């Protein structure tokens, strides 16, 4: 696809792609501000951790509901509201006089983000009309998220150290308000949504409870291990999920068009595995560099930029590869790059030099990660009913958030399974090695999911053959054509 063909949609795509940039940058900024925040508000270590945990739990548990609300009431309308609430929550965090007020404001930020991300992705999919254009739009979406992670890592230490932790939250206010003003130019939703049936409140609440319980339990594994508390959390999540699935409703949180889409299920599972396998790399790498080599937080963040910044370098190439080879082969190629990089990092020792033994693994992961994200996301939004685009966006975003919680919990558990001695660097290297082996296993799960779940359907032959779909390929409820993704939604 030529740049000229994409030019009419560039401004709108860049605008909605601001949502992952804002969310990812906020996460990096807040993590690096926690020590100062804890001291100024006299918070315990556990309380300070919940400044980030409450955000992760609520965003992970509420995005599916946020996506469904986009289908019912309009993605662009909810996009505007979410930006306003996010700005208000950020301002409240910045002026919070006590820890309880800060946690309440942080929860407000999380609820806004849980609507903002699926609303922005839904808007992107409805604004951009063609298949090739959507691939390029998703590349910009992924690059924006990577850019946000880079910005958070680089700016977090400087802002918290030079201006104070309150400025970490204040920075969000003008950014969100600027995006809100610009988003008004998108105009109204393409059609008014007037639901003639009430949303299944019981099913929605049960599914939200299931997701909240799951994410809460995963976040707490590092502190509580696999004891009674953890297994109780898993039981609550499973029971709530089963009940939400079994309750009949005229308009369930997961409509039939979503439940029966096997390609979406495989893609969402792949996204969860991608987030779980690659998300901990920066966290574990930061611990290793700081404990084994004495890096400062700022130096460690700069050293890990190849992981989060790779998407901005190879994003356009990824879009072309997807158009030529399709999601399955592209995803398998990305898995190869990531696995090799992670295997290199499992061999780290306390005296491994960064340029020759750390950097090569980070570069390979940074090159393969965008391919994995874009392959799974592109497959997940192909051939969908326009009435459930928001729900699908919620499923995709929820899968990524939940997978990140799974991976981080597993990585922290594996990293801490090696005892700490007086000479911490040796134990730090061993813990990092175990954590990266866990990441390797999860990346293998990504490859298996792609191989089994992202396979293109074979057209039937003979008298019973189905009519050909777009581009001459047989239509299927499960997905894309071999060399060209089917046109997803018509906005």
Query: What's the structural domain count of the chain?
Result: 3
**Boundaries of domain holding 94:** 10-129+149-193
Q: Rounded distance, CA 306 to CA 76, Å?
A: 34
With contact defined as beta carbons under 8 Å apart, do 485 and 322 qualify? yes
Classify residue 485: in a domain, yes or no.
no
More confident residue, 290 or 334: 334
Mean pLDDT calculated for residue range 294-298:
75
Q: Write down which residue in 232, 250, 268 finishes a domain.
A: 250
Got the DSSP string for 371-430?
Answer: HHHHHHHHHHTSS--GGGHHHHHHHHHHHHHHHHHHHHHHHHHHHHTSPP-TTTHHHHHH
pLDDT for res 390? 84
Spatial separation of the C-alpha atoms in residues 380 and 395, rounded to whole Å: 9
- What pLDDT, on a 0 to 100 scale, did the predictor assign at position 426? 43
> What's the mean pLDDT in 462-471?
42
Cα–Cα distance, 443 to 452 (Å, whole number): 14
In angstroms, the Cα distances linking 227 to 57, 155, 163, 230, 402 are 20, 38, 42, 5, 20
State the first-to-last Cα distance of the chain, in angstroms, to the nearest integer.
Answer: 20
On whether residue 387 sits in a domain, the answer given is: yes
SS (H, E, C) 44-84: CHHHHHHHHHHHHHHHHHHHHHHHHHHHHHCHHHHHHHHHH
Considering the domain architecture, whether residues 327 and 306 belong to the same structural domain is answered as yes
> How is residue 163 annotated by DSSP?
T
How does residue 336 score in pLDDT terms, banded at 50, 70 and 90?
very high
**Tokens, residue 373:** 């994200």
389-416 vs 359-380: helix crossing angle, rounded to 10:
150
What is the average pLDDT value for the chain, to the nearest integer?
A: 77
* DSSP string for residues in 171-220: THHHHHHHHHHHHGGG-S-SS----SS---HHHHHHHHHHHHHHHHHHHH
Q: How confident is the model at residue 51 (pLDDT cuts 50, 70, 90)?
A: confident
* Residue 19 belongs to domain with CATH number: 1.20.1250.20
What's the rounded Cα separation, in Å, for the pair 105 and 95?
A: 10
How many CB atoms are located within 10 Å of the residue 12 CB?
19
Per-residue confidence at 484, pLDDT binned at 50, 70, 90?
very low
Give me the mean pLDDT over the 92-113 stretch: 91
Using the predicted structure, report yes or no on whether residue 429 has a pLDDT greater than 50. yes
Looking at residues 370-396, what average pLDDT do you find?
Answer: 81
In this predicted structure, the answer to whether residue 383 has a pLDDT above a threshold of 70 is no
Are residues 240 and 351 located together in one domain of the fold?
no
341 pLDDT exceeds 90? Answer: yes
Q: What is the mean pLDDT of residues 193-206?
A: 69
With respect to residue 140, please indicate whether it lies within any of the assigned structural domains. no
Q: Could you tell me the pLDDT band of residue 312, with boundaries at 50, 70 and 90? A: low
For residues 356 and 277, state if they share a domain: yes
Q: How far apart are CA 256 and CA 254, in angstroms?
A: 7
3-class SS of residue 239 = helix
Token pair belonging to 467? 């009519």
User: What tens digit of pLDDT does each residue of 57-86 get?
Assistant: 788 778 888 888 888 888 888 998 999 999
Q: Do 311 and 337 belong to one domain?
A: yes
Residue 117, domain member (yes or no): yes
- For the chain, the maximum distance between any two Cα atoms, rounded to a whole number of angstroms, is 75
Considering the domain architecture, whether residues 288 and 153 belong to the same structural domain is answered as no
Residue of 137, 138, 139, 93 whose CA lies nearest to 112 = 93
pLDDT at 182 over 70: yes
CA distance 48 to 28: 15
Among the candidates 157, 176, 193, a domain finishes at 193
- Residue 82 falls inside a structural domain: yes
144 domain residue, yes or no: no
| Residue 44: how many other CB atoms lie within 10 Å | 10
Higher pLDDT residue, 265 or 34? 265
Please answer whether residues 68 and 390 qualify as being in contact, where contact means their C-beta atoms are separated by less than 8 angstroms: yes
Q: What is the pLDDT of residues 149-167, one digit of tens each?
A: 667 766 766 676 667 788 8
Whether residues 315 and 295 share a domain: the answer is: yes
pLDDT of residue 468: 41
Exposure of 366 by Cβ count < 10 A (0-12 exposed, 13-18 middle, 19+ buried)? buried
Assess whether 32 and 178 both reside in one domain. yes
User: d(Cα 21, Cα 472) in Å, to the nearest integer?
Assistant: 38
| CA 381 – CA 173 distance, rounded (Å) | 31
What pLDDT shows up at residue 143? 67
pLDDT of amino acid 126: 79
pLDDT at 439 over 60: yes
Please identify which residue in the block is written with the tokens 């079994």.
246
Whether 124 and 189 share a structural domain: yes
Is 471 contained in some domain?
A: no
**Does residue 335 contact residue 443 with C-beta atoms inside 8 Å?**
yes
Q: Give whole-number Cα distances, 34 to 60, 163, 182, 320, 372, in Å.
A: 21, 14, 32, 41, 31
Q: What is the model's pLDDT at position 235? A: 93
CA dist 184 and 466 (Å) reads 44
Q: Does residue 449 carry a pLDDT above 90?
A: yes
pLDDT at position 315, please? 64
Are residue 211 and residue 85 in the same domain, yes or no?
Answer: no
Flag whether pLDDT at 460 surpasses 70.
Answer: no
Given a cut of 70, whether residue 303 has pLDDT beyond it is: yes
Domain match, 296 and 436 both: yes
Task: Examine the domain organization and report whether 270 and 349 are in the same domain.
Answer: yes
Task: Give the pLDDT confidence of 345-364 residue by residue, as tens digits.
Answer: 999 888 899 999 999 999 99
The better pLDDT of the pair 431, 201 is held by 431
In a domain, residue 301? The reply is yes
**Mean local confidence (pLDDT), 189-211:** 69
107 and 231 assigned to the same domain: no
Tell me the C-alpha distance between 345 and 282, whole Å: 12
pLDDT tens by residue, 212-259 = 788 778 777 766 777 888 899 899 989 988 887 777 666 777 888 888
What are the pLDDT digits (tens) for 118-130? 888 888 877 776 6
The pLDDT value recorded for residue 483 is 35
Measure the CA–CA gap between 87 and 172, rounded to whole angstroms.
Answer: 6
Phi then psi for 370, rounded to 5 degrees? -60, -35
């Amino acid at each position: 696809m030529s740049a000229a063909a994409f030019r009419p949609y560039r401004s709108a795509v860049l605008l909605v792609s601001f949502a992952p940039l804002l969310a990812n940058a906020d996460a990096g900024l807040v993590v690096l501000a926690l020590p100062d925040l804890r001291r100024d508000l006299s918070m315990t270590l556990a309380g300070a951790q919940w400044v980030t945990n409450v955000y992760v739990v609520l965003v992970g548990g509420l995005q599916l509901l946020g996506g469904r609300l986009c289908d019912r009431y309009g993605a662009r309308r909810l996009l505007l509201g979410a930006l306003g609430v996010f700005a208000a929550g950020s301002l409240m965090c910045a002026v919070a006089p006590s820890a309880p007020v800060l946690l309440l404001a942080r929860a407000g930020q999380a609820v806004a983000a849980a609507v903002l991300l699926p609303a922005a992705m839904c808007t992107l999919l409805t604004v951009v009309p063609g298949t090739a254009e959507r691939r390029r739009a998703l590349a910009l979406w992924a690059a924006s998220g990577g850019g946000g992670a880079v910005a958070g890592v680089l700016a977090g230490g400087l802002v918290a150290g030079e201006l104070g932790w309150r400025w970490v939250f204040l920075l969000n206010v003008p950014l969100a308000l600027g995006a809100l003003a610009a988003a008004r130019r998108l105009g109204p939703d393409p059609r008014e949504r007037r639901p003639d049936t009430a949303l299944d409140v019981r099913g929605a609440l049960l599914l939200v409870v299931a997701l909240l319980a799951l994410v809460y339990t995963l976040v707490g594994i590092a502190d509580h291990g696999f004891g009674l508390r953890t297994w109780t959390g898993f039981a609550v999540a499973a029971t709530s999920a089963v009940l939400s699935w079994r309750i009949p409703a005229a308009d369930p949180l997961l409509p039939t068009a979503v439940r029966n889409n096997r390609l979406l299920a495989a893609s969402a599972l792949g996204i969860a595995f991608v987030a779980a396998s690659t998300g901990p790399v920066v966290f574990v790498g930061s611990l290793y560099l700081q404990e084994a080599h004495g890096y400062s937080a700022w130096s460690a963040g700069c050293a890990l930029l190849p992981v989060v910044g790779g998407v901005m370098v190879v994003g356009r190439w990824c879009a072309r590869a997807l158009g030529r080879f399709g999601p399955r082969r592209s995803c398998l190629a990305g898995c190869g790059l990531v696995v090799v990089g992670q295997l290199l990092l499992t061999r780290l020792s306390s005296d491994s030099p960064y340029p020759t033994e750390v950097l090569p693994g980070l570069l390979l992961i940074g090159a393969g990660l965008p391919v994995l994200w874009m392959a799974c996301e592109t497959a997940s939004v192909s051939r969908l009913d326009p009435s459930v685009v928001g729900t699908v966006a919620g499923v995709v975003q929820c899968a990524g958030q939940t997978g990140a919680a799974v991976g981080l919990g597993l990585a922290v558990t594996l990293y801490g399974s090696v005892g700490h001695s007086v000479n911490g660097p040796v134990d730090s290297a061993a813990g990092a090695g175990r954590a990266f082996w866990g990441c390797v296993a999860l990346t293998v799960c990504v490859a298996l999911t792609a191989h089994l779940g992202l396979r293109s359907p074979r057209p039937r032959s003979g008298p019973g053959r189905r009519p050909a779909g777009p581009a001459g390929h047989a239509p299927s409820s499960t997905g894309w054509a071999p060399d060209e993704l089917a046109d997803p939604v018509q906005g």
